[in-house]
Chain A
């Protein structure tokens, strides 16, 4: 597991020399150096152990960089010689791990970098979660998820009890719930989110007697299907006007509807007659006509 370090400063020359210095002195480190805040968008910030930031002490630039800086685990601030008070305040306010004033003593910086890294690795206990084993487990489970039916998903047999379903559902949430992941690459977080959604779906079927019996039948009838069919069984309201195919007829239908909303059923009747003459088989137009006739007291 490499230590990830970002260096962000606006002086290109200084940046490159610092990059070289840190890469060579901090063993096992992966250094990403840039002058542009926006280039950091491609980096998974929460997994970065340290960020060294400098020369952003114009408050406007600082505010732009802040959301980025806040995501990394630690940062060290290198303050400008000409604005020491402001940089010190910022270092304090936003919890910098260390603060240095330029010109910089490279030994002092290195010492501080090593201290921060040591602390960060101990404190974050990254091995806890980003052990290769865990990454393998979650990746494997996520990849296989679509092949499981809900029972297999929970690691259960079809004749399991409700208590077993609940127990394994809870165990799964304890392991994979997205709220538990913070300093992990976003792919892991996304996997945990998708797994939890599926767990909730599976639980909402297996803990629901009606759904469970439909689902069990489905599994027998079609072994290919793995998930409950939650889709609507009824046609949705497609803005009923849209069912009228002829454009002119649709225009008249719209006018008729407007007139009906204003209780002007006489005008609506004329407009509907026009519409129906252009499109005879629309159930929607027929429905409107019935309503208009009812309101005008005409028997259909």
Chain B
């Protein structure tokens, strides 16, 4: 049988795919994309929705068709529609985000509704096709990466996107962990590594211990709404304020203008990684009294850029402190710092990381590619033959899982940073005579009060047998698998029979 597994980095802004071939992780070329290998995670619906463009083609014509061009879907996939961040992004995105069943999100395209999972599946399908073209045969097994701080619904949504693309998703793996695998695999390292993953849409920091191909994650922390997009947004905001104060005008923001400003912000950000200063030029954006539109021109240097992005980078450093604390390590115990993600290319980010970890970070040339390479390395170990010296990866659960208790409190069932797979059991009972179902609220996150926490969904024990209140003893097993996904099962302790149980995750259509 074909011994190949695709490693797919399904990123907020770009997607890459790798495979281990002839004993080496290799990037799979995707024709027509950036550098013929980096595919923008952008999907455009054209011709009344009859045709779909994926990748660079879709991105390049974004300004022509903003309403039907879907980008940064990773920011909202698996989110609840009612989540404040969803609402914030729904307003920012030129495309139409609407609510679906079970508080899920849908995108409206030419009057039809599609799920974010379907959008991502179109990107994955193209990655899968590129692999088939490269290898000469189809490969369906895949390892897909997600931000370490992804929650239950987001992980499940990513698995579903893979399935919709015709992939057999062998594993969902955390991006920083994949990067660490690519960095440390086969190098006989004996180190403690910090992976600082500052991407397009998310920030993660993961602390690992690596010893003879044994990868043990000690802690992970992150923010799924902190990334390059926020830097773009800060730059856009700066430009708008700059124009409005210096030219004494009011900009009537519309989708087209927003798209142009975002593109310019992205260009400035990228250029300032190599240039000391850069000229902003946006044609015909400033309205004058005579009804004419004039160009916006100004120079922005690294120092000004630094001032604009300082608060964003400070947040990432704060989160890094938490991760170090949870790993019970001090800064001098870290042997190497690996930078990953597009936003880590910014010199100011690198300065801050160097200052925090008291050592220069390691930033390989292929940093945009390491995540998919690491995923393919993991995929390859999953299909390799047994040997005790083969690499082992022990990852952790990124967010605590808890159960709502009486009052406003949450009782934690599984603490974050526990190694996976893990299992916890708990006994539940009926509150009144002959109650036929019990509903239990499940929360995810650190907060101990319901009002501040993220309601993941609920668990329902149904078709309970008749019993006086408090008499039933139903043992519920909560198991978090190696994908970081929750599975539940239940047993009636008295009869030993399997008890019917269902898990409803908010943000996902059932």
Q: Which of A125, A181, A197, A244 has the most CB of B within 10 A?
A: A197
Interface string of A154-192 (1 = CB under 8 A from B): 000000000000000010011101111111100000000
Find out whether the CB atom of A242 lies under 8 angstroms from the CB atom of B404.
no
**In the complex, B133 has a CB within 8 A of chain A:** no
Find out whether the CB atom of B482 lies under 8 angstroms from the CB atom of A179.
yes
Q: Which residues of A contact B424 (CB under 8 A)?
A: 230
Q: Which of B393, B411, B427, B431 has the most CB of A within 10 A?
A: B431
Find out whether the CB atom of B390 lies under 8 angstroms from the CB atom of A197.
no
**In the complex, A1 has a CB within 8 A of chain B:** no
When C-beta atoms are compared, the residue in chain A nearest to B450 turns out to be A237
Q: Which residues of B contact A173 (CB under 8 A)?
A: 214, 392, 394
Q: Report A58-105 residues with CB < 8 Å from chain B CB.
A: 70, 72-75, 92-95
Find out whether the CB atom of B422 lies under 8 angstroms from the CB atom of A197.
yes
**In the complex, B423 has a CB within 8 A of chain A:** yes
When C-beta atoms are compared, the residue in chain A nearest to B420 turns out to be A200
Find out whether the CB atom of A242 lies under 8 angstroms from the CB atom of B406.
no
Find out whether the CB atom of B421 lies under 8 angstroms from the CB atom of A196.
yes
Partner of B405, one of A197, A200, A237: A237
Q: Nearest Cβ in chain B — how far from A215, in angstroms?
A: 15
Q: Give complex CA distance A74, B2 in Å.
A: 9
Q: Which residues of A contact B432 (CB under 8 A)?
A: 242-245
Partner of B428, one of A125, A230, A236: A236
Q: Which residues of B contact A95 (CB under 8 A)?
A: 1-2, 137
Q: Which of B138, B404, B406, B433 has the most CB of A within 10 A?
A: B406
Partner of B393, one of A70, A179, A237: A179
Q: Report A120-138 residues with CB < 8 Å from chain B CB.
A: 124-125, 128-129
Q: Give complex CA distance A193, B481 in Å.
A: 9
Q: Nearest Cβ in chain B — how far from A149, in angstroms?
A: 17
**In the complex, B447 has a CB within 8 A of chain A:** no
**In the complex, B409 has a CB within 8 A of chain A:** yes
Find out whether the CB atom of A242 lies under 8 angstroms from the CB atom of B387.
no
Q: Which residues of A contact B264 (CB under 8 A)?
A: none
Find out whether the CB atom of B418 lies under 8 angstroms from the CB atom of A129.
no
Q: Give complex CA distance A27, B421 in Å.
A: 41
**In the complex, B383 has a CB within 8 A of chain A:** yes
Find out whether the CB atom of B390 lies under 8 angstroms from the CB atom of A231.
no
**In the complex, B425 has a CB within 8 A of chain A:** yes
Find out whether the CB atom of A237 lies under 8 angstroms from the CB atom of B404.
yes
Q: Report B470-489 residues with CB < 8 Å from chain A CB.
A: 479, 482
Partner of B138, one of A94, A125, A240: A94
**In the complex, A235 has a CB within 8 A of chain B:** yes
Q: Report B180-236 residues with CB < 8 Å from chain A CB.
A: 211, 214, 216
Known contacts being A70-B1, A179-B393, A242-B432, is A231 close to B427, with CB within 8 Å? yes
Find out whether the CB atom of B382 lies under 8 angstroms from the CB atom of A182.
yes
Q: Give complex CA distance A107, B418 in Å.
A: 57
Q: Give complex CA distance A173, B412 in Å.
A: 26
Partner of B433, one of A196, A200, A245: A245
When C-beta atoms are compared, the residue in chain A nearest to B2 turns out to be A95
**In the complex, B384 has a CB within 8 A of chain A:** yes
When C-beta atoms are compared, the residue in chain A nearest to B407 turns out to be A237
Q: Give complex CA distance A245, B381 in Å.
A: 56
**In the complex, A41 has a CB within 8 A of chain B:** no
Known contacts being A239-B438, A239-B439, is A201 close to B386, with CB within 8 Å? no
Q: Give complex CA distance A30, B7 in Å.
A: 36
**In the complex, A203 has a CB within 8 A of chain B:** yes
Q: Give complex CA distance A77, B404 in Å.
A: 56
Q: Which residues of A contact B382 (CB under 8 A)?
A: 179, 182
**In the complex, A10 has a CB within 8 A of chain B:** no
Q: Which residues of B contact A232 (CB under 8 A)?
A: 403, 405, 411, 413, 426
Partner of A74, one of B1, B137, B404: B1
**In the complex, A108 has a CB within 8 A of chain B:** no
**In the complex, B103 has a CB within 8 A of chain A:** no
Q: Which residues of A contact B409 (CB under 8 A)?
A: 234
Interface string of B27-61 (1 = CB under 8 A from A): 00000000000000000000000000000000000
Known contacts being A179-B392, A232-B405, is A129 close to B386, with CB within 8 Å? yes
**In the complex, A213 has a CB within 8 A of chain B:** no
Q: Give complex CA distance A177, B395 in Å.
A: 12
**In the complex, A39 has a CB within 8 A of chain B:** no
**In the complex, B266 has a CB within 8 A of chain A:** no
Q: Which residues of A contact B469 (CB under 8 A)?
A: 245
When C-beta atoms are compared, the residue in chain A nearest to B408 turns out to be A237
Known contacts being A70-B1, A174-B388, A237-B404, is A93 close to B422, with CB within 8 Å? no
Find out whether the CB atom of B431 lies under 8 angstroms from the CB atom of A242.
yes
Find out whether the CB atom of A238 lies under 8 angstroms from the CB atom of B383.
no
Q: Which residues of B contact A125 (CB under 8 A)?
A: 385-386
Find out whether the CB atom of A180 lies under 8 angstroms from the CB atom of B431.
no
Find out whether the CB atom of B138 lies under 8 angstroms from the CB atom of A204.
no
Q: Which residues of B contact A74 (CB under 8 A)?
A: 1
Interface string of B372-400 (1 = CB under 8 A from A): 00000000011111111110111000000
Find out whether the CB atom of A243 lies under 8 angstroms from the CB atom of B431.
yes
**In the complex, B322 has a CB within 8 A of chain A:** no
Listed by A's residue number, 28 A-B pairs whose Cβ atoms lie within 8 Å are A72-B1, A73-B1, A92-B136, A94-B137, A128-B386, A170-B211, A170-B216, A173-B214, A173-B392, A174-B214, A179-B393, A180-B386, A182-B382, A182-B383, A196-B421, A197-B479, A200-B418, A231-B426, A232-B413, A235-B406, A236-B403, A236-B404, A236-B406, A236-B411, A236-B426, A237-B441, A242-B432, A245-B433
Given contact pairs A173-B392, A236-B426, enumerate 20 new A-B contacts (beta carbons under 8 Å): A74-B1, A92-B137, A93-B137, A95-B1, A95-B137, A124-B385, A174-B388, A174-B392, A184-B386, A200-B394, A201-B423, A230-B425, A234-B405, A234-B411, A236-B406, A236-B428, A237-B404, A237-B406, A237-B407, A237-B441
Seen from chain A, the residues whose Cβ lies within 8 Å of a Cβ on chain B are: 70, 72-75, 92-95, 124-125, 128-129, 170, 173-175, 177-184, 193, 196-197, 200-201, 203-204, 230-240, 242-245
